[in-house]
Structure 1
Amino acid sequence: MADLTYLDSRSHSDLRLDLANAANRHFVQVVAEEMPVAANEYPIFFTKNPQTGSFYAGVVMGLEAGTNLYAANGELPGYRPADLVRQGFFLSDGQIAIDPESPAFIPDGKPIFDERGEATPVLQAVQRAMHMLEKGLPETDAILARFVEHRLLEPIDISLDFDDGSRLRLDGLYSTSLDALHSLPDAVALELFRNGDLQIAYIQAASINHIRRLAKIRNDRLLAATS
């Protein structure tokens, strides 16, 4: 990443953002606030940060690295997670900054400032996404810390077979253990309920059925390529 530059309407009046930036993202981080909406379309799993070993949540958009099965020409037809919306933008000392060399900025993208130097709806969406992440990342970390404390996360290995004879295995993913959840003492379950954690647990566990949709999309594309 290049040096960050603080965003201002005069210096960046011609800056344009690529909204079709999802083509190569097969796993996108999400925060708890997004999960009720994201779970309508995507499977949600937990995985570990390879540097820190800490858990974080994300949506699976592809079954292979670098391939997004939901995106058409890089653009998502449905919900765009905040982490995709804010691509190229960062918070630095409480101010919005940009990476001028980010591939999220392209000459034929959508303008972020209008002719008066005011934020366009595109930039307003970025600002909302960054606010959501700033607030949601520590909240989600706290939820996952409680899940770990009560041993509610379990590894889940997914193997998928396709009509061309190929097989894909998804490793390193974790899901909420409903068995462990239902075995919790009443006092602990009540505490998790009051924190809103139970809602997240059930939403995540139900969302994994979308893996079947991803497998069907990939299988249909394989068949189309051979017909």
Structure 2
Amino acid sequence: MPNFALLNNIDHKNLRVIREYFPQYGDGEMSVVTFPQEFRAIQNEYPIFFKKDPETAKFMSVALLGLRQHENLFLSEKGWDAQYIPASVKRRPFLIGIQPPKPGEGDQPSRLVYVDMDSPRVNEVVGEPVFLPHGGYSPYLESMVDLLEYIHYGTALNEQFVDALLAYELLEVVTLEITLKNGERNNLAGLYTINEDKLSSLAGSAVAELHAKGFLECIYMVLASQANVLKLIARIEEKLSAQ
């Protein structure tokens, strides 16, 4: 379980973060959350689907990294083997938190940076320093703050995107049934994708609305990305043959 603490330059003045990507750092995941504004980069390498959050039952966009539980096919002995690393991966071990306004401070909540103190990336010996010697933000932390703002925006944008898909009944459940050369069968359930029949039958006004919001492009990015399932199969076949 994560152990998030409010980041500050007193308690965490010597904090360092390991930036490499390996299973021992928690990167061995089958899928990770992604956001509409990064779909252009994501669809070049990863399949994009939708899943329901098990706690909230809300839909979220995910990039598929593997075909089996706890399997990330983009990890190699050299680290992450892809040109683009999803934002939700790069932000680790940091998280943005929302704090309600205090009396007399207006009505706008504050966004604060938290760090997972139980993350295997966090230590005081090796990795990127979080703070400068005099207590200011290091360039690394500044980049993480920018990334967290990017994710905060993307989370809200994804909710709007999903709401639009649901309004036009464009989401449908899909099960990926994949049989490997060695006979191993993998059934990936609980995924959703775009219903292309309903998409093609949308009224012109609906298409115009989706286009005006920038969501029509996102839809086609999702559909185009799913050809990358074949790339995942090729990766796992190569991995199996090497073994």
Q: TM-score, normalised by structure 1?
A: 0.91
Structure 2: gaps spanning 5 or more residues:
100-110
How far apart in 2 are the matches of 1:73 and 1:35? 27
Alignment of 1:10-49 (within 5 A): 10-19=10-19, 20=21, 21=25, 23-49=27-53
Q: Residue 121 of structure 2: SS of its match in structure 1?
A: coil
Which of 187, 192, 199 in structure 2 is aligned with 1:169?
A: 187
Q: SS where residue 80 of structure 2 aligns?
A: coil
Q: Does 1:158 align with 2:173?
A: no
Other-structure match for 2:91: 86
Task: Give 3-state SS (helix, strand or coil) of 1:59's partner.
Answer: strand
Matched, 1:69 2:90: no
**CA apart distance, 1:46:** 0.5
Quick check: 1:145 aligned with 2:163?
yes
Partner SS for 1:79: coil
* Matched residues, number: 225
Cα distance in structure 2, aligned partners of 1:3 and 1:203 = 35
- Contact 1:23/1:73, CA 8 A, preserved across alignment: no
Q: Distance in 2 between matches of 1:3 and 1:22?
A: 14
Residues 1:98 and 2:103 aligned together = no
Once the two structures are superposed, residues 155-178 of structure 1 have per-residue CA deviations (whole angstroms, 9 ceiling, x without a partner) of: 121111112111111111111122
Cα offset for 1:220? 1.2
Deviating above 4 A after TM superposition, structure 1's stretches of 4 or more consecutive aligned residues are: none
Would you say 1:117 and 2:135 are equivalent positions? yes
2:205 is aligned to: 187
Question: What value does the CA root-mean-square deviation take over the aligned residues?
Answer: 1.9
Corresponding letter in the other structure for 2:118: E
* Deviation digits for residues 23-54 of structure 1 (CA, Å, limit 9, x no counterpart): 31211001111111111111110111122221
* Change in 2 beyond 3 A, CA 1:2/1:214: closer
- Could you list the runs of 5+ residues in structure 1 that have no partner in the other structure? none
What percentage of residue pairs aligned between the two structures are identical? 27
Distance 1:183 1:97 in 2: 45
